[in-house]
Amino acid sequence: MARKKKNPDGTRRPNRASSIFEGSDGYWHGWVTMGVRDDGKPDRRHVKRKSEGAVIKAVRKLEQERDSGKTRKPGRAWTVEQWLVHWVENIAAQSVRNNTLVGYRASVYGYLIPGIGAHRIDKLRPEHLESLYKRMSTATGKHGKNLKPATVHHAHRTIRAALSEATRRGHVATNPAKIARAPRVPEDEIVPFTKEEATKLLDVCRTRRNGARFVIALTLGLRKGEALGLQWRDIDFNGRTLAIRRSLQPVKWKHGCTAANPCGRRHAGHCPRRHGGGVVAQEVKSRAGRRVVALPTPVLRALKQHRKDQERERVQAGDLWTDEGWVFASPTGTPIHPRTDHGAWKSLLKDAGVRNARLHDARHTAATMLLVLGVPGRAVMDVMGWSHVAMTTRYQHMTPELMTSIADQIGDLYWQPETETEGSGEDDGGEPPEGAPTPSEVGNCNPNCSP
């Protein structure tokens, strides 16, 4: 970088050298070569400041971005609102699942655009995001209550994902959402079921309709959507395997009425002409989620019995039965809605006399039992459908039995197991044998007395 001055005759300035000069308009100007445009012409960026020191600082910043390879694209930067709308409607809508998209849209249109939408994305700072999070934490929602920390944290994850894509495409040099301090979300303590609690639940499952559904939740740790999305063609009874290929997810209904002829219902689910909602089979959560697991023999027996029970229901339903091949179905063969499944789980807990817990805690229980059995981490990832081994620290928990076992192993490593000697008397802290002299009697004996 150098201040612009007249070069000697026959010479020229070095390639990519920046220029700084004072213009006739009273401002200081800086020109920086950032690279080459798409059309092959040099990408020259211009900055203008009131003082020489200010323009030098701006030129140095551009040079640092160029040298570090974090140069944003030429042209006027997008506003946060423009980029968020483009990202959620044209990028995220093509690549994420429907429920994820619903959450993204809620954060984008409900909180992010009203809060920071007017900023240019290249001028957005971490402090702007942290101020937004603070305002959201003290704001009230639709029902007059403060927004939950999870809502604020979801907005943070959404803007982080959106700006990560903007960074990857060169619209911004760095992602301020990765620097901003995310709001803390208090985590509920997760306590997996003990072996005794799981045994009680499995005993009651034998007498429940679709009880095998909760058997595989407790033993194999399938996610709710994965279990409800199972079809009979996914089970190989001869090979004792179960393939997870799809996930059943609830999708919100959309209004089918028009603005000229509204139905007057607030929720689209109550609209007489609703469409696009219900329960939909989608791809599994990740590539690792598409997996094949081996079935324990008791689980295989439970599924065989469940198939016989379902066959009787099919005969009883007659023409009302919709044969779509679902392993766990309604009395007419249609897929089970997650709300119905949730109610069946709560009823199972009550009948088994087990503490109230989330259905997802059964997945934590299955992962923890694999830890108790000493299954290697790589095998646990395959069974549970995880992409990263770090998930083991989230789902596998230390049980009292496991901690006691570890303590015993440590003791046996450093100290030999103590053995009791029969009739050891005082050595083992017990009473002396009958007829033996007491310590006081022994002390009063003379050398000629016999004990």
Give residue 333's pLDDT: 95
Q: Would residue 119 show up in a list of annotated catalytic residues for this protein?
A: no
pLDDT exceeds cutoff 50 at 120: yes
Co-location of 101 and 202 in the same domain: no
308, two tokens? 């016989």
Give residue 92's pLDDT: 94
Catalytic residue among 45, 285, 363, 364: 363
Co-location of 209 and 304 in the same domain: yes
Co-location of 200 and 238 in the same domain: yes
Q: Would residue 386 show up in a list of annotated catalytic residues for this protein?
A: yes
Co-location of 86 and 47 in the same domain: no
Q: Which domain holds residue 51?
A: 2-68
| CATH number of domain containing 369 | 1.10.443.10
Q: Would residue 223 show up in a list of annotated catalytic residues for this protein?
A: yes
Ranges 68-82, 149-163, 327-341: which has the least confidence: 68-82
Q: Identify the band that residue 448 occupies on the pLDDT scale cut at 50, 70 and 90.
A: very low
Q: Is residue 183 part of a domain?
A: no
Q: Is residue 422 part of a domain?
A: no
| CATH number of domain containing 64 | 3.30.160
pLDDT exceeds cutoff 50 at 439: no
Co-location of 214 and 243 in the same domain: yes
Co-location of 315 and 209 in the same domain: yes
Ranges 68-82, 374-388, 394-408: which has the least confidence: 68-82
Q: Is residue 199 part of a domain?
A: yes
Catalytic residue among 45, 223, 246, 285: 223
The answer to whether residues 290 and 226 touch, using CB atoms and an 8 Å cutoff, is no
| Per-residue model confidence as pLDDT tens digits over 182-200 | 888 877 778 899 999 999 9
Q: Would residue 414 show up in a list of annotated catalytic residues for this protein?
A: no
Co-location of 221 and 326 in the same domain: yes
- Please count the structural domains in the chain: 3
Q: Is residue 441 part of a domain?
A: no
Q: Identify the band that residue 143 occupies on the pLDDT scale cut at 50, 70 and 90.
A: low
Give the pTM: 0.69
The answer to whether residues 252 and 219 touch, using CB atoms and an 8 Å cutoff, is no
pLDDT exceeds cutoff 70 at 87: yes
Catalytic residue among 104, 111, 326, 395: 395
The answer to whether residues 169 and 87 touch, using CB atoms and an 8 Å cutoff, is no
Catalytic residue among 4, 49, 360, 397: 360
Co-location of 291 and 368 in the same domain: yes
CB count within 10 Å of CB 256 equals 13
Co-location of 171 and 316 in the same domain: no
Catalytic residue among 168, 254, 275, 339: 254
Q: Would residue 306 show up in a list of annotated catalytic residues for this protein?
A: no
**Which residues are registered as beta bridge partners of 241?**
236, 294
Co-location of 139 and 243 in the same domain: no
